[in-house]
Amino acid sequence: MTLTDSPRLIHLRRGGTSLIARLNDDDLPTVLHWGPQIDGDDLGDVLTALAVPVGDSVVYAQPLVGLLPLHTRGWLGHPGILGSRGGRSWSFAPASVQHTVEDDEGTARLVSVATDPANALEVVTELVLEPAGLVRVRATVTNRGDDGYEVVALEPALPVPAVADELLDMTGRHAHERAPQRHPFRHGRWTREAWGGRPGHDSATVLCAGESDFGFRRGTVWGVHLAWSGNGVVSAERTNTGWRLLSGGEKLLPGEIVLAQNESYSSPWVMGSWGDGLDAFAGRFHEFLRARPQHPSTARPVILNTWEAVYFDHDLPRLLDLAERAAGLGVERFVLDDGWFTGRRDDTAGLGDWQVDADVWPDGLGPLADRVHELGMEFGLWFEPEMVNLDSELARRHPEWVFGTANGPGVPSRQQHVLDLGHPAAYEYVLESMSALIAEYDIDYLKWDHNRPLVDAGHSPSFQPGVHDQTLATYRMLDALTSRHPGLEIESCCGGGGRIDLGIMEHCARVWVSDCIDAHERQRLQRWTSLILPPELMGTHVGADHDHTTGRALDLDFRAGTAIWGHFGIEWDLAVAAPDDLAHLGEWIAFHKRMRPLLHSGTVVHADSSNPAVELEGVVARDGSEALYRLSVVDHSVEAPLGRIQLPGLDGARRYRVELVDLAVSSIRPDGMPDWARPGVTLSGEALTKLGLATPMMNVDRSTLIRAVGI
Ligand code: GLA
C-alpha cells in the first residue's frame, strides 16, 4: 500500500521485533523504535509523545534522522549519502518521498522513493523485516541528470536507544580472527573499515551496542553486520543531540562508481539484529539463514582435508592411503587442497594455471577422484580463482589480466597478485577451466580460497578501481558454477576466515573459520563467528596433536570435542596418528553423526560463566526436547572448586535427565567427578538454568560433554 498521510506512523512486527517509523512525504523514514515487540495495535499519540522540542533550530536539535542521515535536514554527523557531479549536486534534499509498505505474510517491507529534481537525483531506501525479526536496510541512488554522478558514500543507519552504552566488535589477524573488543559508546564515531577487497582477518564481523556489560544471556543488545565481501565499513556514531546510530556501507575508491544518466548504485544490505543477550541477537541471524532456500538441507558430510596432512607433497600412493584411512573412519568427503595444478610445488608459482600438473599427476586426478568416489566419499578440490602468481603461464601470457596501477601490479602477498575478474576474457578463462575440471572429475565440492588483499586493484589499461566489480564478478562466478553443476557445494576460505560475511554466504555452503585449528583458539573463533553463522555453516576440523599454527599440544578429546559442533572434518595425517587415537577419532565421528541433526538445527546457547576459566556452550533442540553442552576449562582458575555452571536455553517447565557423555568423561580429573555425573540426575529445566550444576574439575584445555534429554 502506498501511504499518503503525512506525517504518519508504521508499525512492523516480526519474530519478536517491532519496528516503528515515522513517515513524512518529504523525508526518508525515521525509525523511532527498533527492538522488543510492542503488542498493542494502538500507537495513539506516539508521534506527539515523541516529538522533540526544537528551540530555535533543527540544526542544533536534530529531532529527526532518517535511514540516510542528511545534512540538508540538519544532521551534523557523518552523512548517509555523499557524491557529486564534479563538485555539483552534492547536497541531496528530497522534495517528495513516496512510501510503500508491504506487510502481509513472510517479510514486511517499507520502500521509500525520494526525488530531488533540483539535483536530478532519486534515492530509494528499503527496509525489510524478516520473519526471524532481523531487519535489513539498503539504499539505491539513481542519477537522473545527463552528466555523470560520482557516488562517494551510501551508508544507511539504524538508531539504537540511549541504554546502549557499550560497543562490541571483532578484530584479529591471520590465524587469530574474531578477537572481541569492547569499549564505552562515547560521543564521536567509531568506524571499522575494510580496504582489502574483503572483510579481512580483522573484520568487525558485527558492530554491537548494548546495555553495559551485556553478555550472551544478559543485557539488551543491538548490532549491525554488512552483507558484503568487498571494501566496507560499519560505524557507531553518538552525537551531542542524543542520537546513537549504527550504520554500514561500501567503501568506494575515487572514481570507482560514476553513474551515467539513469544508472543506479545500491549499497550492500546492512543487517540489523537485537536481542536480550548475544544468544538472542545471534539467533535471529541463524533463523534468517536457515530459512533461505539455498541453506544446506542435507546432513553436512564429514570432511577430510589434505592441507595439514600433506601440504604440497602430492604423491598419489600417499593420498590414496589417506583416502582409504579416512573412509575407514567414516569420512564422507575427501578434499584435495592446494598443490595439484601446473607448477604448484610451493606457494611461489602456478596460481592461475588451472590445469592438473602433469609431472605430479601423470594420469590426471582420475586415479584419486575415482578411488574417493568408489570408497563412497565425495571429492572436493581447492582453487584460488581470483588469484595469480606472476610466475605462471597465465601471467606471462596475459599481464593485462593482473590488477595494477600505473606503478605496476603492486606489492605481492604470499608471492601472489589478484586476477581482474572484471576483465571478461579473464573471467571466461577461469570459469571455463574450473567448469571443465568439475565435469571431468565429477567434483562435488570446491574450497575457494583468497589469500591476497586487493590493493592497487585497477583495471588494465585504464587503472580505474576494480574492487567493486571484482566483488560482483566473484558472486557471479560462484553462482555460474553452482548453476552449471547442480549439487556442487562451495566453501568460502580466505587464508582462513578473512571473508566471512552474509554476502558470500548467499553463494557458499560454508566458511573456513580460520587457518588455526588449535582447539583452544577454535573455541573462541567458533563462539564469535557464531554471532552471525549457525554451526552447520562453519568448517571445524580436528588437527594433529601438536597444532601446526600455535605449536600447542592438545589431547584428542579436547580437539574433537571442539570440532564436532560445526561442519566437522579432519585435517591430520592419519598415517602417522597413533592407532588408539584413530580408533577414538572414529568414535568421535560416529558421535558427531548421531548428534548432527541436533547440532545443525538447534538453538546455539552460551552461559555467562562467573569464572573466566570455565566456558559452557551448547545447542538446544528447537522444541526443547534435548540439548548437548560442552563444558571447557580454558585457563587456570583462581578459584577451586570451579563453582556452578548453569545450562541455558532449556524449557523451564520440562524435566530433563542430565548426564555426562561417556566419550569425553576421561577429561575429568578422578578427584573432580561431581556426584550428579554418575549415574546422572533428573531436574527441571528451570532448576538447571537458574541453579545449575556443580562444575566437574578438569585441567586446563580439557572439555567434557553434558547431555540433557527431556523426559
Ligand atoms: C590458505 C587456506 C588453507 C590452505 C592454504 C593452501 O591459507 O586458508 O586452508 O588451503 O591456503 O595454500
Q: pLDDT tens-digit profile of 141-169?
A: 999 999 999 999 999 999 999 999 999 99
Mean pLDDT, range 16-40, rounded to an integer: 96
Ligand 1 centroid distance, CA of 106 (Å): 40
Q: pLDDT tens-digit profile of 597-650?
A: 999 999 999 999 989 999 999 999 999 999 999 999 999 999 988 999 999 999
Would you place residue 593 in the very low, low, confident or very high pLDDT band (cuts 50, 70, 90)? very high
Percent of the chain residues topping a pLDDT of 90: 95
For the record, the C-alpha cell of 49 comes out as: 509523545
Would you place residue 678 in the very low, low, confident or very high pLDDT band (cuts 50, 70, 90)? confident
Residue of 307, 499, 540 with the most ligand 1 atoms within 8 Å of its CB, for mutation:
307
**Cell 553434558, residue located:** 706
Ligand 1 centroid distance, CA of 310 (Å): 12
Would you place residue 214 in the very low, low, confident or very high pLDDT band (cuts 50, 70, 90)? very high
d(Cα 479, Cα 485) in Å, to the nearest integer? 10
Closest ligand 1 atom to Cα of 347: 12
Q: Whose CA is nearest to atom 1 of ligand 1?
A: 495
Q: Indicate the SS3 state at residue 658.
A: strand
d(Cα 574, Cα 460) in Å, to the nearest integer? 46
Closest to 69 in 3D by CA, of 297, 244, 225, 233: 244
Contact indicator for 232, 194 with CB cutoff of 8 Å: yes
Is the pLDDT reported for residue 3 higher than 90? no
Peptide bond into 579 cis (omega under 30): no
Mean pLDDT, range 498-518, rounded to an integer: 98
Ligand 1 centroid distance, CA of 303 (Å): 15
Mean pLDDT, range 390-408, rounded to an integer: 98
The DSSP element (H or E) to which 369 belongs, if any, is: helix 366-374
d(Cα 136, Cα 16) in Å, to the nearest integer? 15
Ligand 1 centroid distance, CA of 449 (Å): 7
Is the pLDDT reported for residue 4 higher than 70? no
pLDDT, residue 346, reads 98
* Cβ-based neighbours of 293, under 8 Å, separated by 6 or more: none
pLDDT, residue 57, reads 84
Ligand 1 centroid distance, CA of 299 (Å): 25
- Residue 80: count other Cβ atoms within 10 Å of its Cβ: 27
Residues known to be catalytic: 449, 515
Closest ligand 1 atom to Cα of 496: 8
Contact indicator for 296, 539 with CB cutoff of 8 Å: no
pLDDT, residue 62, reads 85
CA angle 509, 512, 516 (to 5 degrees): 165
pLDDT, residue 84, reads 98
Closest ligand 1 atom to Cα of 494: 8
Residue of 346, 493, 547, 570 with the most ligand 1 atoms within 8 Å of its CB, for mutation:
493
Q: pLDDT tens-digit profile of 437-473?
A: 999 999 999 999 999 999 999 999 999 999 999 999 9
d(Cα 705, Cα 562) in Å, to the nearest integer? 10
Ligand 1 centroid distance, CA of 416 (Å): 13
Residue of 451, 514, 522, 548 with the most ligand 1 atoms within 8 Å of its CB, for mutation:
451
Quote the mean pLDDT of the chain.
Answer: 97
Residue of 198, 305, 337 with the most ligand 1 atoms within 8 Å of its CB, for mutation:
337
d(Cα 425, Cα 408) in Å, to the nearest integer? 20
Q: Whose CA is nearest to atom 11 of ligand 1?
A: 495
Ligand 1 centroid distance, CA of 96 (Å): 52
Q: Whose CA is nearest to atom 6 of ligand 1?
A: 338
Percent of the chain residues topping a pLDDT of 70: 99
Q: Whose CA is nearest to atom 2 of ligand 1?
A: 495
Residue of 308, 382, 389, 541 with the most ligand 1 atoms within 8 Å of its CB, for mutation:
382
Residue of 348, 449, 572 with the most ligand 1 atoms within 8 Å of its CB, for mutation:
449
List residues bridging with 272 in a β-sheet. 135, 224
Ligand 1 centroid distance, CA of 170 (Å): 22
List residues bridging with 124 in a β-sheet. 113, 140
Edge-first strand order for the sheet with 188-194 is 157-159, 244-250, 232-238, 188-194
Ligand 1 centroid distance, CA of 514 (Å): 10
109 class by beta-carbon count within 10 Å (0-12 exposed, 13-18 middle, 19+ buried): middle
Ligand 1 centroid distance, CA of 338 (Å): 7
Q: pLDDT tens-digit profile of 119-147?
A: 999 999 999 999 999 999 999 999 999 99
* Cβ-based neighbours of 379, under 8 Å, separated by 6 or more: 333, 334, 335, 336, 368, 369, 372, 373, 441, 442, 443, 444, 445
Dihedral over Cα of 425, 427, 431, 433: its sign: positive
Q: Whose CA is nearest to atom 12 of ligand 1?
A: 338
Alpha-carbon Rg of the chain, whole angstroms?
Answer: 27
Q: pLDDT tens-digit profile of 276-298?
A: 999 999 999 999 999 999 999 99
Ligand 1 centroid distance, CA of 494 (Å): 8
Q: pLDDT tens-digit profile of 558-590?
A: 999 999 999 999 999 999 999 999 999 999 999
Q: Does the predicted model carry a pTM greater than 0.95?
A: yes
Q: Indicate the SS3 state at residue 698.
A: strand
Ligand 1 centroid distance, CA of 596 (Å): 26
Q: pLDDT tens-digit profile of 297-346?
A: 999 999 999 999 999 999 999 999 999 999 999 999 999 999 999 999 99
Q: Whose CA is nearest to atom 4 of ligand 1?
A: 307
* Cβ-based neighbours of 373, under 8 Å, separated by 6 or more: 379, 442
pLDDT, residue 2, reads 66
Pocket of ligand 1 (CB under 6 A): 307, 337-338, 347, 382, 449, 451, 493, 495-496, 512, 515
Is the pLDDT reported for residue 353 higher than 80? yes
Question: Measured between alpha carbons, how far is residue 407 from residues 254, 325, 390, 397, 415 in Å?
Answer: 17, 51, 15, 20, 18
